[in-house]
């Protein structure tokens, strides 16, 4: 496990010598320490990224050249999948098979953007303009130095979603991972080093959000901030970035609805419902955490759900068969517990769970929980809990379901469960969310756009949209007529 910051191709201690702890959420033990970057370190890293972009020529490499680095990174991630997944489980608590997916998807993300980097080489093209005395061509260019700030729920994957397209576009990056889960970001730096990525192109600064993250957002030589995290920090970043017009993309929280119609396949629905809220212990921005069930099947669905939720094996993420690991931290456990207690005190029915998982002396384990009888304006129904807590309500009509589903300041994702094709199309079109799943919940694809409406964020990651985030568009217009322009000199 690495301890140091990766700046300009070198491993360094923090300038002020500060360190932070890695706590295993399954045992509550401190298992490691890593450097906690100071503003001075941020300055060094940004200046290295600036130099790599402006002078060393990374921004002028061809897409084909950049693709070779990205493919090497993808290959090494793939070769180290098991080991990286084990680090992710140690750091975040998630079950090992889920961590294996994340790492596999991270490798896939680098592979995908290698292909898009190559395509950029043929991207420049002419466009017809309304005055044929002029010829106009359009090219896209890397936008500069990127400050990438990532959360703790999918550490390596969220870093890959930013670093891979940014490098593919020809940008240089300073990555600041979440302080709770820094291990795989440091390994990503080591992988970039092994892939012989030029010094300064990718820098990784572990450390706190309020110190290192804040210094990165405020740094004058950063051109863009790509952020995934909570809404309040997202707003703060947007305000800071406005000072010098930094580009910003924000991937924030959600309270995504799932609408279950009376004709849904109940067994399949219960399975997706559980996946939608218990996967990664519910610490998923797109978790379908509000479920609306048609009144005619409400009791039946709830009964099956509670039955299955009771069978979920809770345990250390590295143990075989574990489906629900610990929450990421004591703070997260306290927040989830407090949200459930508040709901209970406001009159919600705790249908199952609703407490720390019994049988564990140590570890931040919380039971799979289902809350019912919630008021529409209650915090539990409206706010993101970010834990294994599902809120359910019944509805009578399709119109009511759509209205209640859309009644949220968030708009990241939504799911519709029905066997009626026409209804699936009608309802998915009516839902105000960036991602709508029909008869499923949570699948994501590197090729498809990811991001939210309303307060769930600004912009889209992944697919070609993810690459666009790191490009500027330039028009080059030439006067091609042999005759003079004739405006001043006749
Ligand atoms: P957070 O906002 O606390 O932290 C996210 C990152 O921002 C961390 O790296 C943190 O160190 C940094 N940070 C904190 N304060 C900062 C500051 N003042 N300036 C700059 N950086 C700062 O969020 P979190 O608790 O790590 O993540 C959970 C949140 O992330 C949830 O709300 C979740 O919904 C959201 N999330 C969204 C997506 C998505 O794709 N939309 C994906 C994952 C998580």
For residue 285, give the ligand 1 atom closest to its CA: 34
The count of C-alpha atoms lying within 13 angstroms of the C-alpha of 171, restricted to the half-sphere facing its C-beta, is 32
pLDDT at 184 over 80: yes
Task: Give me the mean pLDDT over the 73-90 stretch.
Answer: 98
Mutate to test the pocket of ligand 1, among 158, 184, 229 (most ligand atoms within 8 A of CB): 229
Rounded distance, CA 339 to CA 30, Å? 27
Number of neighbouring beta carbons within 10 Å of residue 54:
15
The CA-atom distances, in angstroms, between 462 and each of 64, 159, 241, 256, 449 are: 20, 12, 22, 20, 5
Active-site pick, 98, 285, 367, 384: 285
Query: Contact at 8 Å (CB) between 46 and 145?
Result: yes
Rounded distance, CA 41 to CA 140, Å? 31
Task: Give me the mean pLDDT over the 365-393 stretch.
Answer: 97
Number of neighbouring beta carbons within 10 Å of residue 485:
9
For residue 217, give the ligand 1 atom closest to its CA: 20
Mode of pairing for the β-strands spanning 413-417 and 257-260 = parallel
Ligand 1, atom 26, lies closest to the CA of: 151
Q: So what's the pLDDT on residue 489?
A: 85
Helix (H) / strand (E) containing 424:
helix 421-430
Number of neighbouring beta carbons within 10 Å of residue 18:
15
Q: So what's the pLDDT on residue 361?
A: 93
* Nearest-10 Cα torsion for 343, 344, 350, 353: 90
CA of 230 to the centre of ligand 1 (A): 4
Active-site pick, 98, 251, 384, 461: 251
pLDDT digits over 295-317, tens only? Answer: 999 999 999 999 999 999 999 99
Rounded distance, CA 120 to CA 64, Å? 9
**Widest Cα–Cα separation across the chain:** 92
Rounded distance, CA 254 to CA 231, Å? 9
- The whole-chain average pLDDT of the chain stands at 98
CA of 373 to the centre of ligand 1 (A): 30
CA of 482 to the centre of ligand 1 (A): 57
For residue 232, give the ligand 1 atom closest to its CA: 2
In sign, the C-alpha dihedral spanning 234, 237, 241, 242 is positive
SS3 state of residue 373: coil
Encoding tokens for residue 409? Answer: 């300041």
Query: Contact at 8 Å (CB) between 215 and 421?
Result: no
SS3 state of residue 332: helix
pLDDT digits over 24-56, tens only? Answer: 999 999 999 999 999 999 999 999 999 999 999
Rounded distance, CA 378 to CA 271, Å? 26
pLDDT digits over 465-489, tens only? Answer: 999 999 999 999 999 999 999 999 8
pLDDT digits over 156-182, tens only? Answer: 999 999 999 999 999 999 999 999 999
CA of 451 to the centre of ligand 1 (A): 14
Which among 19, 332, 56 is positioned nearest to 201, based on CA atoms?
A: 56
Task: Name all residues whose Cβ lies below 6 A of ligand 1.
Answer: 149-153, 176-179, 209-210, 213-214, 217, 228-230, 233, 236-237, 251-254, 285, 384, 386, 412, 457
CA of 404 to the centre of ligand 1 (A): 27
- Whether 391 is catalytic is no
Helix (H) / strand (E) containing 51:
helix 39-54
SS3 state of residue 414: strand
pLDDT digits over 121-157, tens only? Answer: 999 999 999 999 999 999 999 999 999 999 999 999 9
Which among 68, 56, 191 is positioned nearest to 118, based on CA atoms?
A: 68
Number of neighbouring beta carbons within 10 Å of residue 347:
10
Mode of pairing for the β-strands spanning 471-479 and 134-142 = antiparallel
pLDDT digits over 435-472, tens only? Answer: 999 999 999 999 999 999 999 999 999 999 999 999 99
Ligand 1, atom 9, lies closest to the CA of: 178
Rounded distance, CA 405 to CA 414, Å? 8
Q: So what's the pLDDT on residue 57?
A: 95
Q: By CB neighbour count within 10 A (0-12 exposed, 13-18 middle, 19+ buried), where does 310 fall?
A: exposed
pLDDT at 490 over 80: no
CA of 259 to the centre of ligand 1 (A): 28
Ligand 1, atom 19, lies closest to the CA of: 214
Helix (H) / strand (E) containing 147:
strand 145-149
Percent of the chain exceeding pLDDT 90 equals 99
- Whether 285 is catalytic is yes
For residue 461, give the ligand 1 atom closest to its CA: 40
Angle CA(448)–CA(288)–CA(387) in degrees, nearest 5? Answer: 115
Q: What ranges make up the beta strands (E) of 281-399?
A: 290-294, 349-352, 369-372, 389-395
């Amino acid at each position: 496990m690495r301890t140091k910051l990766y700046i300009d191709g070198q491993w360094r201690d923090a300038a002020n010598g500060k360190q932070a702890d890695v706590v295993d959420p399954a045992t509550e033990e401190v298992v490691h320490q890593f450097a906690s970057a100071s503003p001075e370190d941020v300055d060094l890293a940004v200046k290295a990224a600036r130099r790599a972009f402006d002078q060393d020529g990374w921004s002028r490499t061809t897409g084909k050249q950049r693709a070779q680095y990205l493919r090497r990174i993808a290959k090494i991630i793939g070769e180290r999948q098991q080991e990286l997944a084990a680090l992710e489980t140690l750091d975040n608590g998630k079950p090992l098979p889920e961590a294996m997916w994340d790492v596999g998807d991270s490798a896939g993300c680098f592979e995908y953007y290698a292909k898009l980097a190559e395509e950029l080489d043929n991207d420049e093209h002419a466009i017809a303009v309304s005055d044929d005395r002029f010829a106009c061509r359009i090219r896209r260019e890397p936008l500069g130095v990127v400050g990438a700030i990532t959360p703790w729920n999918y550490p390596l994957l969220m870093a890959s979603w930013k670093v891979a397209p940014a490098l593919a576009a020809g940008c240089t990056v300073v990555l600041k991972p979440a302080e709770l889960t820094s291990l795989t970001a440091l390994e990503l730096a080591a992988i970039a080093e092994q892939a012989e990525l030029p010094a300064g192109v990718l820098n990784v600064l572990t450390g706190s959000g309020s110190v290192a993250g804040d210094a990165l957002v405020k740094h004058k030589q950063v051109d863009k901030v790509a952020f995934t995290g909570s809404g309040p920090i997202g707003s703060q970043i947007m305000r800071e970035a406005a000072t010098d017009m930094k580009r910003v993309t924000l991937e924030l929280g959600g309270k995504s609805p799932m609408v279950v119609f009376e004709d849904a396949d109940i067994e399949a629905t219960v399975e997706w419902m559980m996946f939608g809220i218990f996967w990664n212990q519910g610490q998923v921005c797109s978790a379908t955490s509000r479920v609306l069930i048609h009144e005619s099947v409400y009791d039946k669905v709830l009964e099956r759900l509670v039955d299955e939720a009771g069978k979920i094996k809770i345990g250390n993420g590295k143990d075989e068969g574990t489906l629900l690991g610990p929450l990421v931290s004591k703070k997260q456990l306290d927040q989830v517990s407090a949200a459930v207690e508040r709901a209970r005190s406001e009159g919600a029915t705790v249908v199952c769970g609703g407490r720390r998982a019994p049988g564990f002396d140590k570890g931040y384990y919380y039971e799979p929980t289902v809350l019912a009888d919630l008021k529409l304006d209650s915090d539990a129904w409206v706010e993101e809990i970010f834990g294994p807590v599902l809120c359910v309500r019944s509805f009578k009509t399709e119109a009511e379901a759509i209205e209640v589903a859309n009644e949220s300041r968030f708009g990241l994702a939504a799911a519709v469960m029905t066997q009626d094709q026409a209804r699936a199309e009608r309802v998915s079109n009516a839902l105000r969310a960036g991602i709508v799943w029909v008869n499923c919940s949570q699948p994501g694809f590197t090729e498809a756009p990811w991001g939210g409406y309303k307060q769930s964020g600004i912009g889209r990651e992944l697919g070609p949209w993810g690459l666009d985030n790191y490009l500027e568009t330039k028009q080059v217009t030439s006067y091609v007529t042999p005759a003079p322009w004739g405006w001043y000199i006749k």
